[in-house]
Structure formats: structure tokens, C-alpha cells
Chain A
Amino acid sequence: MTQTAARPMAGSRRGGRDEAAATTRARRGRVGQETTNWTTMVILLLCSLTVLVPLYVTISMSLKTTAQAVDGNAFSLPTPIDFSGFAEAWQLTNFPRAFVISVLITAATVAGTVLLAALASYAIVRNWERRLFRWSFFYLLAAMFLPFPVVALPQIQLTGLTGLANPVGVTILHIMFQLSFSILLFTAFLRSIPLELEESARMDGATTGQTFRKLIFPLLAPMGATVAIFAFLASWNDFMMPSLIIADSSLQTVPVVQSIFQTQFSNNYNVSFASYLMAMAPAIIVYLFAQRWVLEGVTQGAVKG
């Protein structure tokens, strides 16, 4: 079920990369001859279908009546248009509360990941010749090889013992699991920032903290966007960790409360798709407004990652 929600987003990421390539090519076209590359065009159109078709099914399903939703024709248009799926999903999942919790967890994860990873990367890159920093880099990277399911049981017990069996605990764990990949991206990017910039700041009398705050962190912004996007997707779409860590079900996140819609014995496609759509909406809206930065960020990640 979470995959259903996650797939269109993963898809849009892929589509985004293609579009970015297309804009570069189009720009180049304007300078030189104005020809359309039909092969690329067709391939890109087909690629965009992988995003648009699931999105169409999601929207049309959510507007169907229960009887029409189960009839086996996923592509049919909803007749009559019925909004009761939204009402039911809203009520069954206590949507507003789950949504606020998901937003807070995600926002804290994104902010925490960007800040902590940037700080750690700066310290590591500028002290690369010292063994402690070099090894701590490898130590942090090693966490990439530890998927959550492997450490799930001890984490459940630890969070239970320390009173962190709640959204705060999930946020901390999300940041932790996101850290290694983010540090990898940041360190690679930091190495390309000339040391001379920093030296000039030093000569103006900046302390290390000031250098980071006023010079390095702003320079890291493009990579920061990449890191933030990855952290956002990982945190917003996560199902397993919140479902295991959060003890109080009234504090659960959106993907977890949505899991009640699909069971072995019953299909409520209209209600579940209405709910998925509500969960996807913020990501889509953010994407529409922040398209430029997202695209830049993703291509940054594509090159460095």
C-alpha cells in the first residue's frame, strides 16, 4: 500500500530527470538549428506515461462509487462522480491528526538531516588528514549497509526503554538513517569548494563557526536541496519504522493509518485511493511550486551520487 503511494513519486523523480535533460537540449536547439528530436520526444512521452497513468487511475478511482471501483475497469471514468470516498477516508484514519504528525516528522527530519550532515561533512572534509575524522567518515558510511529491518527489534526495545516510542523517536531514527548517504553527498560536494574562499574569510577575521554559517552552508545549498529531497521522500513515505516504533496509535503517521484499507478479504479502492491522493497531495503541490530547485537538486544528486 505504501508502495502505491510511493511509486508515483519515485516515478515523478525519474520523469523529472528526463525533463531536465530535455530543457538543456531545447536550449541548445534554440542556439543552433531548430529541430525536434522525434526519437527523444517519443521516448520522453512514453516515460511521462509511467507517471500520468497511475496518477490518472488514482484520481479517477478516488472519485468512483464503491460499486464502480470494484468492477475491474481501472481506466473507466467515474460516473457518477462521488466524493464519499474522501469523507470516509478522512474519518476512518482521523486524517488531519495523522497528517500533522507526518508533516512534523518529515519537516524535523529534513531540517535535522541537512543541518547535521552539513556540519559533519564540513568537519570531516576540512580535517581529512586526521585519523579520527577519516575513520568517523567510514564509520558513518558503514551505516548505509544497515537497513532498518535488521536492527528493528533492538530499536523497538531501546525506544521503549528511553521513552522514545513516539514520533520524536521516529524523527531521530529517520535523521540517523538518512545521515550516511547525506554525508556522502555533502563531502563530495565540499571537496569542490575552493579552500581559497575560506582563507579569505579567515583573513577577514571569521571564526570557524562564522565561516560555516556565512560561507560554507550557503554554498552547500544546491546539494542541500538534494539531501532535503531524499530525506523528505524517505521520511514521508516510510511505513515500517513508524508502524513499529510509535506505540500510541493515535500518534501514527499517514502511511500507517492508511494500511487499514486493503486487507486480504476486502477491497475498498475508492476509499483507499482517496486517502492515497490526500497523502500524495502535499508532495505534488510542493513539487509544482519548487519544480526548479527540485530538478536542479535531483540532477546534482544524479551526478554525485
Chain B
Amino acid sequence: MPHSIPARTRVRVALSAGLASAALAMTGCAGVAGAGGPAEITFHMSKPEAIPYFRDLVQQFNTDQQDVRVTLDTASNLSAGFLRGNPPDVGLLNYNMEMARFMERGALSDLADLPVAERIRPDVQELVDQYATYPGRTSVLPYSVAAASVIYNVQIFEDNGLEVPTTWDELIGACETLLDAGVTPIYATFKDPWTVAQGPFDYTVGGMLDVAGFYEQLNAEGTEVGPDSAVSFQKDFAEPVARMNELLLYVNDDAESKGYGDGNVAFAKGEAAMYLQGPWALGEIAKTSPDLELGTFPLPVTDDPEDLKVRVNLDLALWIPEAGTDKEAARAFVEYLTQQDVMDDYNREFLGFGTTEDAAPAEDERILGMQEFYDEGKFYQGASRAIPLTIPVDNYIQALATGADPESTLARLDADWARVAFRE
């Protein structure tokens, strides 16, 4: 990435005099950044439902102090920003494999000396490192965690005299009871591949395996992954996938033709007892039935209640790029964002779990069922999310759910993994 070469600056000045000022004139908004004015920084936040919330928060921050002026950026393209050398000064967004690539290449600055870094739970910080690390840096701070498990209709469970199942046998028993009572046990939406991957697949794999440990070993195997390697999809995932297929016998008959939107509406109307989705679906369900009583429990996949775990992902994570315009100003804003009550407010509003030691516990009844597992660190990141996007894993899983041969499909996943490893 080119750094400020004088010649380049001259070109930029000359051109911006003519052209960029035309752009400003075009929009009718004059540039405010004067020499003595407050530091101008941009704040990237692109979670659509949280935009109004953070717009208010930014406004609050701008009126509270005079040194830093924050602009909320909800639409710019991150890859282009990094490539151009002017990424947003503060980023707060979903953390995943794509975002981890920037961190892996050292594009994000070290935040280890911020006070909040001390307060973050080590096992939550570990979730960041499961994707990638950059030596000697804490580049990404988890801000909010979304925990996902089985959403269940409390009324239907009570009507059929069911308790929350804690073992696989209890779960199957509950499904049978519901089936006998003429209720669809589970609502599935096979039409949208990601719903199968992030729901049934991730839950069964995460419930049986140590996901992070598996991928660590798989990465070590690299190009050797295959039928003879120490760990492989075809060997280690065979059992969870068999369980998944067993579970999927209890879904609605028209699952193949239903998408995520259909699932939310159908579940909201009480057409099934259980729904394998994350907290993001709760808001969608509430659009149709705002007062429906719902609860959550981790999917039991083994016969030991001690094995129960919930699936988590980093709903929002904070970072400051190396190439930012004013890192001091950015850090001041990050400190504002990471005050405990600000973080708690966000989590309360958007059904997230706190990432710090002193975070307030969840209050919403719909996600309370996951609190104890989250507190005890019994969680894993989805197995399907640890696979690079170049491998169409969601589609493979969709095929598995709709009748493909598990053995050959998982073998293909192994071959794809080895190929990607070879390319890198």
C-alpha cells in the first residue's frame, strides 16, 4: 500500500482543487475540516436494524464533547476503502472469515492498551483468534455476541406436557410426542441453504465435536486432508451428519420449498414447536406475532446433559485500521462506545450477550435459556462458518438435508479443503 509520497499529495491537491471541490459544490455540503476544528473521523456500522440506534449514539457523542466529530458511515465498501488507503476510522461490524483477512495482513491496529481490552472475557476474545491472529496484537475487540440455539414455542410445549429436553433421547421423545399430537415438531427452511448450515448442521456438529480444536487440526493437515488424514470431514462429521438427518425426519413436509421468510411467518403463527434459528429470527417473528411466548435451549445431540453448548458468533466487533486518519480520535470514540452501560444498552436492545466480565445479564425471556451456557463458556462458533466462502459448503449441507449421500458429500468437502489449502 503506497504511503504519502509528496508527488502524490501534489497531484491530489491539484486535482482536488478542481474536481473534488466540484463534488462538494455538487452536494451543497461544504467541507468543515478546518485546521483548528475538531478531529473528523468516520465510523462504519452496517447492521441495518441498528443504524437508528447508533445514529443517536453518535449524535450524543458529538454533542457531549468538542474534540472529535464522528460521521456514521453505513454504505461504504470496506474492501475498496482498505485498497484505496482510506478505510473508516472505526469499524463495528459482524466479525467473520472475510473480515479476518484484513486483520491477518496487519491492516488493523493494536488495541491491547485500551482499558476495555482488560475487561473482555478471555474465552470470548478467543473467538476472534479462532479465525486468524496477527502476532503481538489484539486488533479486534468483541462487542456483542449473538447466541443461537433452538427457539421453541412455550405454549405448544406446555400443551403437550413437554419439558425442555437435555439429552438426545429426550429430544427425539419430544418430537415423537408432538408428532403423535399432530404438531409439526421442527420447522425447517431448506430452500435457503444458509438456514440448514447455521441451524441443524452447526448445532449437531457443535454439540458433538470440539469445533475450534477440529479446525486447528484440520488447518495443520492442510493439503493432506483426505480419507487417510488424522482428522477429516468424512471421518469426524459422519456421526453428527447422521444425527442431523435423523433430526430432520421431524420437520415439516414442505421444508424443501420454504425459505427463511416463510419459516419466520409460519413459526410466528404457531405452525411448529421448534425452530433452529438464531436471535436474528426473533425480531422477524415479532413482526408477525409480537406477543408470542418463546424460549430457547441448546440442541441436545448426545446423551450427556453436560455436553450442552450454544452456537455463538461475533455479532459486532470493534477495530481501528492502521491507515486511519486520526487514531487518537478514533480511540477516544472507541472508549466511549465501550463504556459498560453503553454496551449493556446495545445488548438489551438487540438481544445480544455482553462480552465483558462485568456485562449485565440478558433480560429478555426469549434468550434467557442460553445465559447459563454462555456464562460457563459452553459455546462454539458454527462449523459451517469456518470454511472459506470459495467452498460452497452451504449448498453441500443443503444437499445433505435433501437426501445426498453423506459419505461422498463429506469426501468432496475434504477434497475441496485440500485444494484450497494447496492454492494458499
Interface residues of A (CB under 8 A from B): 66-67, 70-72, 92, 97, 100-101, 104, 153, 156-157, 159-169, 243-252, 256-257, 259-261, 263-268
Within the complex, which residue of B11, B75, B194, B261 is in contact with A161, where a contact is CB–CB below 8 Å? B11
Is there an interface contact between A164 and B84, defined as CB atoms closer than 8 Å?
no
Contact flag A157-B84 (CB < 8 Å), given A100-B27, A249-B74, A252-B75:
yes
Is there an interface contact between A163 and B76, defined as CB atoms closer than 8 Å?
no
What residues of chain A lie closer than 8 Å to B288, measured between beta carbons?
67, 70-71
Cα A94 to Cα B84 in complex, Å, equals 25
Cα A156 to Cα B80 in complex, Å, equals 7
Supply 13 further A-B pairs (C-beta < 8 A) apart from A156-B84, A168-B22, A257-B75: A70-B284, A70-B287, A71-B265, A153-B83, A156-B80, A166-B23, A168-B23, A169-B19, A243-B77, A247-B76, A260-B74, A265-B281, A266-B283
What residues of chain A lie closer than 8 Å to B52, measured between beta carbons?
92
Cα A248 to Cα B43 in complex, Å, equals 11
User: Which B8-55 residues have C-beta < 8 A from chain A?
Assistant: 8, 11-13, 15-16, 19-20, 22-23, 26-29, 42, 46, 48-49, 51-52
What residues of chain B lie closer than 8 Å to A157, measured between beta carbons?
83-84
| B85 contacts A by Cβ under 8 Å | yes
Chain A residue nearest to B15 (CB atoms) is: A163
- Which interface residue of B8, B13, B15, B27 has the most chain A CB atoms within 10 A? B27
- Output the least CB separation between B311 and chain A (Å): 14
Is there an interface contact between B76 and A267, defined as CB atoms closer than 8 Å?
no
- 28 A-B pairs (CB sep. < 8 Å): A153-B83, A156-B80, A157-B84, A160-B83, A160-B86, A164-B19, A164-B20, A165-B84, A165-B86, A168-B26, A169-B19, A243-B77, A245-B80, A247-B76, A249-B73, A250-B27, A250-B29, A251-B23, A252-B76, A257-B74, A259-B75, A260-B46, A260-B75, A263-B48, A265-B278, A266-B48, A266-B280, A268-B48
Cα A249 to Cα B89 in complex, Å, equals 13
Is there an interface contact between A244 and B77, defined as CB atoms closer than 8 Å?
yes
Chain B window 330-352, contacts with chain A (Cβ cutoff 8 Å), 1 for yes, 0 for no = 00000000000000000000000
- Output the least CB separation between B90 and chain A (Å): 13
Q: Helix, strand, loop or mixed for chain A's interface?
A: helix
What residues of chain B lie closer than 8 Å to A264, measured between beta carbons?
194, 260
Within the complex, which residue of A165, A166, A266 is in contact with B284, where a contact is CB–CB below 8 Å? A266
What residues of chain A lie closer than 8 Å to B284, measured between beta carbons?
70, 265-267
Chain A residue nearest to B28 (CB atoms) is: A100
Is there an interface contact between B11 and A249, defined as CB atoms closer than 8 Å?
no
| B264 contacts A by Cβ under 8 Å | yes
- Which interface residue of A67, A166, A246, A266 has the most chain B CB atoms within 10 A? A266
Chain B residue nearest to A264 (CB atoms) is: B194
| B115 contacts A by Cβ under 8 Å | no
Is there an interface contact between B83 and A66, defined as CB atoms closer than 8 Å?
no
Cα A267 to Cα B284 in complex, Å, equals 8
Contact flag A163-B12 (CB < 8 Å), given A72-B261, A260-B46, A266-B48:
yes
Chain A residue nearest to B24 (CB atoms) is: A166
Cα A162 to Cα B283 in complex, Å, equals 44
| B262 contacts A by Cβ under 8 Å | yes
Chain A residue nearest to B51 (CB atoms) is: A92
Contact flag A250-B81 (CB < 8 Å), given A72-B265, A265-B280:
no
- Output the least CB separation between B275 and chain A (Å): 14
Cα A225 to Cα B245 in complex, Å, equals 59
Is there an interface contact between A266 and B49, defined as CB atoms closer than 8 Å?
yes
Chain A residue nearest to B284 (CB atoms) is: A266
What residues of chain B lie closer than 8 Å to A167, measured between beta carbons?
23, 26-27
| B177 contacts A by Cβ under 8 Å | no
Is there an interface contact between B76 and A248, defined as CB atoms closer than 8 Å?
yes
Chain A residue nearest to B279 (CB atoms) is: A265
Cα A246 to Cα B29 in complex, Å, equals 16
What residues of chain A lie closer than 8 Å to B280, measured between beta carbons?
265-266
Chain A residue nearest to B71 (CB atoms) is: A250
Cα A256 to Cα B73 in complex, Å, equals 12
Within the complex, which residue of A71, A72, A100, A243 is in contact with B75, where a contact is CB–CB below 8 Å? A243
- Output the least CB separation between A208 and chain B (Å): 29
Within the complex, which residue of A161, A251, A263 is in contact with B27, where a contact is CB–CB below 8 Å? A251
Cα A168 to Cα B194 in complex, Å, equals 39
What residues of chain B lie closer than 8 Å to A265, measured between beta carbons?
278, 280-281, 284
What residues of chain B lie closer than 8 Å to A257, measured between beta carbons?
74-75
Within the complex, which residue of A101, A162, A256, A266 is in contact with B15, where a contact is CB–CB below 8 Å? A162
Cα A161 to Cα B1 in complex, Å, equals 11
Cα A153 to Cα B77 in complex, Å, equals 12
- Output the least CB separation between B282 and chain A (Å): 11
Chain B residue nearest to A104 (CB atoms) is: B26
- Output the least CB separation between B15 and chain A (Å): 4
Cα A266 to Cα B51 in complex, Å, equals 14
Cα A234 to Cα B49 in complex, Å, equals 30
- Which interface residue of A156, A243, A247 has the most chain B CB atoms within 10 A? A247
What residues of chain A lie closer than 8 Å to B11, measured between beta carbons?
161-163
What residues of chain A lie closer than 8 Å to B80, measured between beta carbons?
156, 243-245, 247
Chain B residue nearest to A108 (CB atoms) is: B26
What residues of chain A lie closer than 8 Å to B81, measured between beta carbons?
247
Chain B residue nearest to A257 (CB atoms) is: B75
Cα A156 to Cα B81 in complex, Å, equals 9
What residues of chain B lie closer than 8 Å to A164, measured between beta carbons?
15, 19-20
Chain B residue nearest to A170 (CB atoms) is: B23
Cα A178 to Cα B56 in complex, Å, equals 41
Chain A residue nearest to B11 (CB atoms) is: A162
Cα A164 to Cα B283 in complex, Å, equals 41
What residues of chain B lie closer than 8 Å to A67, measured between beta carbons?
287-288
- Which interface residue of A157, A159, A261 has the most chain B CB atoms within 10 A? A157
Is there an interface contact between A72 and B86, defined as CB atoms closer than 8 Å?
no
What residues of chain B lie closer than 8 Å to A168, measured between beta carbons?
19-20, 22-23, 26
Is there an interface contact between A160 and B27, defined as CB atoms closer than 8 Å?
no
Cα A160 to Cα B82 in complex, Å, equals 11
Cα A92 to Cα B72 in complex, Å, equals 12
Cα A186 to Cα B284 in complex, Å, equals 52
